Chain A
Amino acid sequence: MKNLPNYLYPNYEDRLKKRIQRWRWQSLHIDPVLIICLLCLSATGLFILYSASNQNNQTVLAQGLRIGLGFLVMIGLAQIPPRRYYQWAPWLFSVGVFLLIIVLLLGKMGHGAQRWLALGPIRFQPSEVMKLAMPMMLAWFLNDKPLPPSRTVLLLCTLLILIPSLLVAKQPDLGTAILIAMSGCFALFLSGLSYKIIGSVILLFTLLTPILMHFMHDYQRDRVLTFLHPERDPLGAGYHIIQSKIAIGSGGSLGKGWLQGTQSHLQFLPEHATDFIFAVSGEELGYIGSLIILGLFILILARLLYISSQAQSTFTRLLSSSLSLTFVFCALINIGMVIGILPVVGVPLPLISYGGTSIVTMMACFGIIMSIHTHKKLLSS
């Protein structure tokens, strides 16, 4: 098509320039729009963290380094063509499940909860690996099956989702377990799972809730009960949610001003640098600030879904879309919990909450998505 005559192709020169530009990004396997959005969000995150950490430069620096590392991982993973992920998917998943079992056994041998494994100086959480491995595995599994999936396939998928989710929930890490299960469910839903089945599963869960409550850990049940009645225990379990609502509510439309939040700086708000960081921004930057952050997440989601819709194979489109949705739902669940419309589950606000592993995992997701986006033209041509 590059040899077409000028009269058939008006503004050929301009188009060619654009093409070359895009090609350049493409050859670097980078999506500039996504990267700019992510940079905006992480910059906002650091800005809020500076205040949330009581102007602790070290915390901000550590977080900045993690984000930097995350970007490197993202660009690195973007270079790997999707077919490699396709090849790795079952192996990654198996290793992930194996590690989860080891963590669980180690936890039993030691005492209490254990979520990470130590490999020399590096500590890492197998559950973070699972966040990536789960959608990869399902996408791999569904790739050569006709869609919507048949019942046998569905049953196998359910098993694939349940095993790692339950292993993580057992650690116990309810937040991550929910995210992992969710990413699998998204893949299933996008593969065309019939609404009838979805409806009956939801109905079943509603009926099973009391039984589920029975098997929950005390602290997990507490969280759910506290969510329903925060005033039940204003100095104990309900304290988080009450103080968080006070922080956000007292922010008003324009907020108390950056670094001026009293709820976080005077330690009334617990976990203000990690899970409840959205309350800090709500207090200091007000309604406007909250909407801007929400807007950034929506913007990123829009870009991610656009990329997913452009994907060509079942594997790539399922993988990229379920990764994208997991990212956004992670954010929505966190915000919902901070503003008191969802129970308190340990889910961080992606790219803003302080904490290492989740940032790197998220960036790895974006790396895979960018790989899918930037390799597709080459595959098709």
Chain B
Amino acid sequence: MKKKLAIKDHRLETRLFIKRIWALVAFVAVVVVCIIVRLFYLQILEHKFYSTLSDQNLLSIIPIGPKRGLIYDRNGVLLADNKASYTLELIPSKIDNLQHTITELGKIIYISPRDIDIFTKIAHQYHPFQPIPIKYKLSEQEVDQFLVNQYKFPGVKIEATLIRDYPLGATTSNVVGYVGRINASELQALNTNNYSASHYIGKVGIEKQYESTLHGEVGTSWVEIDASGHTVRHLIQHPARAGSTIYLTIDSKLQEVATAALAPEHGAVVAIEPNTGEILAMATNPNYDPNPFVMGLSADKYEALVKADGNPLFNRPIRGQFAAASTVKPFIALASLDEGIVNTQYTINDPGFFMLPNSHHKFHDWQPGHGRVDISKAIMESCDTYFYNLATKMGIERLDAALRRFGFGQATGVDMPEELPGLVPTPEWKQASRGQRWYTGDTVITGIGQGFLLSTPLQLAVSTATLAERGLHYQPHLVRKITDNDGVTTTTQPMMIEQVHISPYVWQTVINAMQKVVTDIHGTGEYFGRYADYSVAAKTGTAQVRGNDRNEEAVQTNIPKKFRNNHLFIAFAPVSHPKIAIAVVVEHSAKAAIVARKVMDYYLHKTVPRTLSAANRPTQLTGTGKTFEKSS
């Protein structure tokens, strides 16, 4: 064995070596053929497939968000603006030590623990190469501070975006509404293409109603991107189409006057231009600042707002359903005169109460008695007994029909979301909703606007405007004109919905009576003030909140505020050529007439009468002692 080991057969070894070389050559050949076939498969057969993938890699369609349309009032005062806002953003993939960077940033710009909390919560929703916002609404000083130090913070940048801003804040919040971040359910209902670059959507009010008008159309930009998502160059661009500018019918100054007049009481004012249906003011107090809603309100702040006294988020003009009380009397009077149920000569003797035949229940008047009362005096002094009697004569069906003719019980169709229709009760309604039959007593109290009858301040204002125009019922609306991106302006034309056909004599009778409400010494609207230098037709109303005597003034101070009566006031002026019709509802306070006076004075004269003040006006005016008994 050992000997054999020592012997080397060179010829044999050479031959063996050559054989082995050829074996390896064969192996290499197989591998090379595999590679060639594979390359052929990738580069020739599957070329199209991989080409597409390659294009998808580098081409990206970036949506360009449109600029949201602005909102102005009727005089060109800006109500909703787009303000440049600076957001601090971090790109995690470019930052080595995120914790450290945030700590260092905190030395330059204040970053609250809550900001960091939210940042860490949302961070996982983004790709590592996408910028994630950490702080919104940087001040200019903060922006400057950062820019000076930017070189220390790779992967941190400031992004300028347009954020909705409401310069007037609370004054017009219930009309204009606000935008907020798009939520999941809204996203489903949307045309997602058009919103691919939008972060905000109208949530309430005009912002919601005219969302499609204000939003505009998204633009697109084809860009070449690199692997980290950065734009290398722009290829094609379809610019976004900005949203249209909306001019409201609202007079923001009048709205402000109305809000100020209401304060500190809770209530609503709606003022309408009767011959167009344009809503001049639609105020509610208390109200809220819409600006914090844009960036999102924290849960506890929202909670606080919901629980706040008077519910600031409650849009009284369109959603507050109040008992219309005596303000319905002129409308019932108009219908009954028109239908011939009574005439102007018809009188009753008012003992201070009304009793149905075969019944001992007394329906009390708000006064111990008005004596002999005809329809004019009944309106002027707001005689309940007369209207109890009238309602009984009409019956609920004709009464409901009369109210419906003036728009009660149905939504006005104003261009605002979430309007409530009020309620004109019918026996069927009562049966269906309460499971009780309709009593004649229900009819009796409907005659003075109590009971189940409900109406919104807007409805009352529209009915008053119809009355002012002697039956011409115009569609109430909030948008005066819309100017689109190309400068084309569409003006909303006054649209008459219907004409209430009643003879001019009847109109005149009722309007004359309504004038006396504020001018006659016995009129219930004397708080309004008799010395207005324009003619006014008006009607007061007092709605019982909880079974109090409606003549409650004597004991007023002892009743908790929330159980005091609601006061209403409808009016229009000037009587011959009405320029403004108004409805005021003040909760638990007798201020309604004074509020109406302030608003009308401002609108007709652009001045606020300084002498008008809630405390001293009644005594100054009459000084008869009798005044104290009247307030409705």
Interface residues of A (CB under 8 A from B): 144-148, 150, 186, 189-192, 243, 245-253, 262-263, 266-268, 282, 286-287, 290-291, 294, 298, 301, 305, 308-309, 314, 317, 321, 325, 328-329, 332, 335-336, 339-341
Within 42-66 of B, Cβ neighbours of A (below 8 Å) are at: 42-44, 46-47, 49-51, 53-54, 57-58
The answer to whether residues A145 and B5 also contact, given A190-B17, A266-B226 and a CB cut-off of 8 A, is: yes
Chain A residues contacting B16 (CB-CB under 8 Å) are: 147-148, 192
The complex places the Cα of A146 from the Cα of B174 at a distance, in Å, of 103
> Do B232 and A266 touch (CB < 8 A)?
yes
> Do B228 and A267 touch (CB < 8 A)?
yes
Chain B residues contacting A308 (CB-CB under 8 Å) are: 21
A-B contact pairs, 11 of them (CB 8 A): A191-B17, A246-B57, A248-B42, A251-B47, A252-B47, A266-B57, A266-B58, A287-B44, A309-B17, A325-B24, A341-B38
Chain A residues contacting B604 (CB-CB under 8 Å) are: none
> Do A339 and B39 touch (CB < 8 A)?
yes
Stretch from B26-34, B137-145, B483-491, B593-601 contacting the other chain:
B26-34
Q: Which residue of A lies closest to B25 (CB)?
A: A305
Q: Which residue of A lies closest to B8 (CB)?
A: A146
Taking each of A145, A243, A268, which has the highest tally of chain B beta carbons within 10 Å of its own beta carbon?
A268
Residue interface bits B376-409, CB-to-A below 8 A is 1, else 0: 0000000000000000000000000000000000
The complex places the Cα of A298 from the Cα of B28 at a distance, in Å, of 9
> Do B21 and A339 touch (CB < 8 A)?
no
The reply to whether the CB of B240 lies closer than 8 angstroms to some CB of chain A is no
The complex places the Cα of A294 from the Cα of B35 at a distance, in Å, of 9
> Do A335 and B35 touch (CB < 8 A)?
yes
The reply to whether the CB of B36 lies closer than 8 angstroms to some CB of chain A is yes
A194 to B: closest C-beta gap in Å: 11
The reply to whether the CB of B301 lies closer than 8 angstroms to some CB of chain A is no
* Size bracket of the B interface: 35 or more
Chain B residues contacting A251 (CB-CB under 8 Å) are: 43, 47
The reply to whether the CB of B563 lies closer than 8 angstroms to some CB of chain A is no
Chain B residues contacting A287 (CB-CB under 8 Å) are: 39-40, 43-44
Given contacts A191-B17, A250-B50, list 14 more A-B pairs with CB under 8 A: A146-B6, A147-B13, A190-B21, A246-B54, A249-B43, A249-B46, A266-B57, A267-B228, A282-B42, A301-B28, A309-B18, A314-B13, A325-B28, A341-B34
Contact of A336 among B4, B21, B35, B43 (CB under 8 A): B35
The reply to whether the CB of B20 lies closer than 8 angstroms to some CB of chain A is yes
Contact of B54 among A189, A247, A328 (CB under 8 A): A247
The answer to whether residues A291 and B51 also contact, given A190-B20, A192-B17, A267-B227 and a CB cut-off of 8 A, is: no
Contact of A250 among B8, B21, B34, B53 (CB under 8 A): B53
Residue interface bits B87-124, CB-to-A below 8 A is 1, else 0: 00000000000000000000000000000000000000
> Do A250 and B17 touch (CB < 8 A)?
no
Contact of A268 among B21, B36, B43, B58 (CB under 8 A): B58
Chain B residues contacting A329 (CB-CB under 8 Å) are: 28
The complex places the Cα of A231 from the Cα of B38 at a distance, in Å, of 19
Chain B residues contacting A144 (CB-CB under 8 Å) are: 8
Q: Which residue of B lies closest to A287 (CB)?
A: B43
Chain B residues contacting A150 (CB-CB under 8 Å) are: 5
The reply to whether the CB of B7 lies closer than 8 angstroms to some CB of chain A is yes
The answer to whether residues A294 and B50 also contact, given A282-B43, A286-B43, A332-B31 and a CB cut-off of 8 A, is: no
> Do B38 and A250 touch (CB < 8 A)?
no
B39 to A: closest C-beta gap in Å: 5
The complex places the Cα of A341 from the Cα of B39 at a distance, in Å, of 10
Chain A residues contacting B40 (CB-CB under 8 Å) are: 287
Taking each of B5, B28, B49, B232, which has the highest tally of chain A beta carbons within 10 Å of its own beta carbon?
B28
The reply to whether the CB of B9 lies closer than 8 angstroms to some CB of chain A is yes
Contact residues of B: prevailing secondary structure: helix
The complex places the Cα of A185 from the Cα of B50 at a distance, in Å, of 38
The reply to whether the CB of B224 lies closer than 8 angstroms to some CB of chain A is yes
> Do A249 and B49 touch (CB < 8 A)?
yes
Residue interface bits B597-628, CB-to-A below 8 A is 1, else 0: 00000000000000000000000000000000
The reply to whether the CB of B225 lies closer than 8 angstroms to some CB of chain A is yes
The complex places the Cα of A339 from the Cα of B40 at a distance, in Å, of 11
> Do A245 and B50 touch (CB < 8 A)?
yes
The complex places the Cα of A148 from the Cα of B8 at a distance, in Å, of 10
The complex places the Cα of A147 from the Cα of B25 at a distance, in Å, of 21
Q: Which residue of B lies closest to A332 (CB)?
A: B31
> Do A250 and B51 touch (CB < 8 A)?
yes
A326 to B: closest C-beta gap in Å: 11
Chain A residues contacting B228 (CB-CB under 8 Å) are: 267
The answer to whether residues A305 and B21 also contact, given A148-B16, A266-B226 and a CB cut-off of 8 A, is: yes
Q: Which residue of B lies closest to A144 (CB)?
A: B8
> Do B28 and A249 touch (CB < 8 A)?
no
Q: Which residue of B lies closest to A268 (CB)?
A: B227
Chain B residues contacting A282 (CB-CB under 8 Å) are: 39, 42-43
The answer to whether residues A190 and B54 also contact, given A268-B227, A339-B38, A341-B35 and a CB cut-off of 8 A, is: no
Chain A residues contacting B227 (CB-CB under 8 Å) are: 266-268
B594 to A: closest C-beta gap in Å: 69
Q: Which residue of B lies closest to A333 (CB)?
A: B31
Chain A residues contacting B46 (CB-CB under 8 Å) are: 249
B199 to A: closest C-beta gap in Å: 26
B6 to A: closest C-beta gap in Å: 8
Taking each of B38, B46, B226, which has the highest tally of chain A beta carbons within 10 Å of its own beta carbon?
B38
The complex places the Cα of A340 from the Cα of B50 at a distance, in Å, of 14
Chain B residues contacting A291 (CB-CB under 8 Å) are: 36, 39
The complex places the Cα of A286 from the Cα of B21 at a distance, in Å, of 32
Chain B residues contacting A305 (CB-CB under 8 Å) are: 21, 25
Contact of A252 among B9, B38, B43, B57 (CB under 8 A): B43
The answer to whether residues A189 and B20 also contact, given A146-B8, A253-B44, A266-B232 and a CB cut-off of 8 A, is: yes
Taking each of A186, A191, A266, A332, which has the highest tally of chain B beta carbons within 10 Å of its own beta carbon?
A266
Contact of A245 among B32, B42, B57 (CB under 8 A): B42
The complex places the Cα of A250 from the Cα of B55 at a distance, in Å, of 9
The complex places the Cα of A281 from the Cα of B38 at a distance, in Å, of 15
Chain B residues contacting A325 (CB-CB under 8 Å) are: 24, 28
